[in-house]
Each structure stands twice: as structure tokens, then as C-alpha cells.
Amino acid sequence: MSLINKKSGLLKSSITKVFIIGFSCNLMYVAILGLSGKPIKNALGFLTTLSAKPTSNNFHFLKEIIAEDSTTIFYNLGWEAYKKNNYNSARYNWEKGSLSAEDTPDKFNCLFRLGLLQQVGEGVNINLEAAFNFYMKASYNGKPGGNVDATKNIGTFYENGMFVKKDNKKALEWYTKAKDQGNKYCEDDIARVKKNIYDLFEDLHQ
């Protein structure tokens, strides 16, 4: 057997081991968290990939699944800790989830929860600047996949002058982004801010 063939065989063997480990981790994920749907789909994805020819696409597939599942795990661990008022543990896990290189929904959920902790002072001192910055990251600038509550909260910050300068136009912009992003609780906010803008315009021209 040539050296090239030996190296190719070792590479295929190593990749197969990685996929087997990944498959096992997904099954453990299902068992431990009691979740369904996505983890099962991912596990089946690993299974079908075991016999596939190693390619860069397979590595990208593996990277995406690890990132998505890991952020979901960290988010859920944080939520379980939060429900027990263990804010330090919750923050630790959400910080881990927020560091994912992939822009997954649960990454943005982790960022939103970190912002909320800073805004209300759970386990940390109230820090509106930190909260605002977390919300900005979590909102994904109002694009699909971002956290809709973070996007709405940015509007609240602008409407009330919390950390940032009060600005009804920016508040309206962010409430509208939140609505377009899928937040169902922005209608009253949008109507209120529009009225504020109109009233201010009327006062300036009297």
C-alpha cells in the first residue's frame, strides 16, 4: 500500500470516528434533555454521513450541528438554573452559549437573557449600558433569527431614554423592526410612539 493510500485510509478512519462520536453525543443529548425534533434530525444526519465520502461540506455540516446543539444545551442549562434562582449558573451557561461562532437562534436567546439580567439586576448590578449592548447583539439588527424581544427592548430604551438619548423616531424604527421580525406585542408601542411624534410636531408648530 502506498503512503498516499495509507494517509487516505487514516483520514477516513479519523473522520468516521468523529462522526460516530457526534452521533453518540446527539443521542445523549436527546436522552438527557428529553427534547425531540431537531436533535433527532441531527443524529440521523450524522448516521447518513458515516458512509459518505469525506468532503469539506461534511466538515461544515458537522460544525453547524455542533454549534447549534451546543448553544441549545447552554441555553437550556441556563434556563433551568434561572428557574431555581441560581443566577450565577444561568449567566455562566448563557455566556457560553453566546460565544458560538455560528449565528443560531439560541445564541441570540442567550444574549437576550444576559441583557435582561443586566437590566433588572439579577445576580449582577444593574447596568443599562451592558443590557443595551447585549440587546443589540441579540436583535441581529432585526433580521430573521434574531431575538424579537431584544429588538423590542431596544425600542423601549430609545422611547424612555434608558442609557441612550431619548429618541421617538429610533424607538419607532426598532418597534417596527421587532414587529417585522415576528414580535406580536408591538402594536400598542408603535401607536404610542407615533402619537408622541405627532404631539411633539404639533407643539413645535403652535
Which ranges of 142-186 would DSSP assign to H, the alpha helix?
148-160, 168-181
User: What angle do helix axes 148-160 and 105-120 make, rounded to 10 degrees?
Assistant: 30
Q: Which residue has the cell 444593574?
A: 126
CB 124 within 8 A of CB 118: yes
Residue written as grid cell 451557561: 93
Q: Is residue 205 part of a domain?
A: no
Residue 16 belongs to a domain? yes
Residue 35 placed within a domain: yes
Domain count, the chain: 1
Question: What is d(CA 162, CA 156) in angstroms, rounded to the nearest whole number?
Answer: 8
Give the integer Cα–Cα distance in Å for 44 and 64: 15
Q: Is residue 13 part of a domain?
A: yes
* Local confidence band at 23 (pLDDT 50, 70, 90 cut-offs): very low
- % of the chain beyond a pLDDT of 70: 65
Instruction: With respect to residue 19, please indicate whether it lies within any of the assigned structural domains.
Output: yes
- Tens of pLDDT, residue by residue over 90-103, are 999 999 999 998 89
Give a yes or no: residue 110 inside a domain. no
Q: How confident is the model at residue 203 (pLDDT cuts 50, 70, 90)?
A: low
Domain housing 43: 1-54
Span 147-187, pLDDT tens digits: 999 999 999 999 999 999 999 999 999 999 999 999 999 99
Indicate the pLDDT class of residue 18, thresholds 50, 70 and 90.
very low
